[in-house]
Amino acid sequence: MDKGFFGWLNVLACLLIVLKTDGFYVDITYVQSAVAKGAVCLDGSPPAYHWDKGFGAGIDNWLVHIEGGGWCNNVTTCLARKNTRLGSSKQMVKQIAFSGLLSNKPQFNPDFYNWNRIKVRYCDGASFTGDVEAVDPATNLHFRGARIWHAVIDDLLAKGMRTAKNAILSGCSAGGLTSILHCDDFHSLLPATTKVKCLADAGYFINTKDLTGTQHIQEIYSDVVKTHGSAKNLPTSCTSRVAPSLCFFPQYAAQTIRTPLFILNAAYDSWQIKNILAPGVADPHGVWHSCKLDIKNCDSVQIKTMQGFRLEFLSTLQVLGSSPTRGMFINSCYAHCQSEMQETWLRDDSPVLDNKTIAKAIGDWYYDRSPFQKIDCPYPCDSSCHNRVFDQQEHPEL
């Protein structure tokens, strides 16, 4: 009976881990069959995903969620990630926590808890769009994201997704962008009878200038598309209208996507503020440093600049035109990825827009219970935000 001091310490440690993530751990699956198809991570290792099987009434429903992690735009930056978890399945942890929209508990995830839930690991560096046949022996870099995409979807189809009744392609950050770029393709790979929709969480990266007026993100995306040979794998409904490198931006690509799409994004997306609006190269003296760590530290000039960013963000949404099937939850928070964490997806104190949590808005939209297209009032009006506060030690790159 008596566990002793260390026994109880263990219990406490486990309890703290569970409380921290509200999640549970799911094992990795390596897609070994992908290697023969040349569908491999940057370093040539097999791609991977984590799958928690559906149960009960959710057994024929599939949620495919794509992991994020930025991009590598040239050989230098791709080499830098090649031997990390973002470039090699050899470096990935064997288990990851599922929470928020990946949770298996009805109280945490009422609409999707019993679905097959998959988190696809990101290891190609180009939002699953690359396909270059040649491998330079000097670097051994493989640019094969689009092949990984097809190999993973084929594998899931063979494991039962072929008979899906309901399906969602979702993702966060660079994975949210993937869910937009591959949305119609995902739809076309499933039976005509499957109800298919896509969810982009923090994947709506906008084409705007940085503080100095440089087209910083446009240059990066253009390099990504060039380095990874992405042009042929971007939606043809976009590349037939505008330059391929622009089709990496949702504001051009999403216009002509036919599958219903939900855009979940903070208007002051913390990644976009840090890397698109005020990247290090545009702020050599670090004037934005403390503001980027915590929005509460921003001075009135910086807030004014960020309000301008929000207006640009909203204008790119307007250009998409209205579609009754589109969902939109644009809150005025300093955040990035709000579906994967329980605290922002669904909890007593989670963000709300018009009194609806993100989980409720997306569930209602997916099941056609009610549409949701809402844009928040400007910062700092929303008291339900969970604004990100970055630790300076953990983010020396800022």
Ligand X SMILES: *[C@@H]1O[C@H](CO)[C@@H](O)[C@H](O)[C@H]1NC(C)=O
Reduce the DSSP state of residue 373 to 3 states and report it.
Answer: strand
Cβ atoms of residues 245 and 221 within 8 Å: yes
Q: Based on CB atoms, which residue is closest to ligand X, 238 or 278?
A: 278
- CA atoms lying within 13 Å on the CB side of residue 101: 31
Residue from 52, 230, 336, 350 carrying the catalytic annotation = 336
Q: Based on CB atoms, which residue is closest to ligand X, 73 or 166?
A: 73
- Closest contact distance (angstroms) between CB of 219 and ligand X is 7
Q: Based on CB atoms, which residue is closest to ligand X, 45 or 245?
A: 245
- Closest contact distance (angstroms) between CB of 361 and ligand X is 13
Is there a catalytic annotation at residue 336? yes
If you count them, how many residues does the chain have?
A: 398
Residues near ligand X (CB under 6 A) are 73-74, 76-77, 220, 355
- Closest contact distance (angstroms) between CB of 12 and ligand X is 34
* 287-315 per-residue burial string, b: 16 or more CB within 10 A, e: under 16: ebeebbbbbeebeeebbebbeebbebbee
Q: Based on CB atoms, which residue is closest to ligand X, 223 or 294?
A: 223
Phi, psi for residue 374 in degrees, rounded to 5: -130, 140
Phi-psi sector, 54: left (phi>0), alpha (psi -120 to 50), beta: beta
- Closest contact distance (angstroms) between CB of 355 and ligand X is 4
Is there a catalytic annotation at residue 269? yes
Q: Based on CB atoms, which residue is closest to ligand X, 71 or 115?
A: 71
CA neighbor of 329 nearest in space, from 205, 202, 197: 202
- Closest contact distance (angstroms) between CB of 310 and ligand X is 24
- CA atoms lying within 13 Å on the CB side of residue 117: 25
Q: Is the dihedral of CA 389, 66, 140, 236 positive or negative?
A: negative
Q: Based on CB atoms, which residue is closest to ligand X, 54 or 351?
A: 351
Residue from 88, 99, 173, 245 carrying the catalytic annotation = 173
- Closest contact distance (angstroms) between CB of 215 and ligand X is 13
Q: What is the dihedral of CA 295, 299, 300, 305, to 10 degrees?
A: -60
Phi, psi for residue 352 in degrees, rounded to 5: -130, 155
How far, CA to CA in Å, does 148 sit from each of 58, 141, 145, 336, 393?
26, 14, 5, 25, 34
Phi, psi for residue 187 in degrees, rounded to 5: -55, -45
How far, CA to CA in Å, does 370 sit from each of 50, 303, 325, 338, 367?
31, 34, 10, 21, 8
Is there a catalytic annotation at residue 173? yes
Residue from 269, 283, 376, 382 carrying the catalytic annotation = 269
Q: Based on CB atoms, which residue is closest to ligand X, 179 or 207?
A: 207
- Closest contact distance (angstroms) between CB of 80 and ligand X is 9
Active site residues: 173, 269, 336
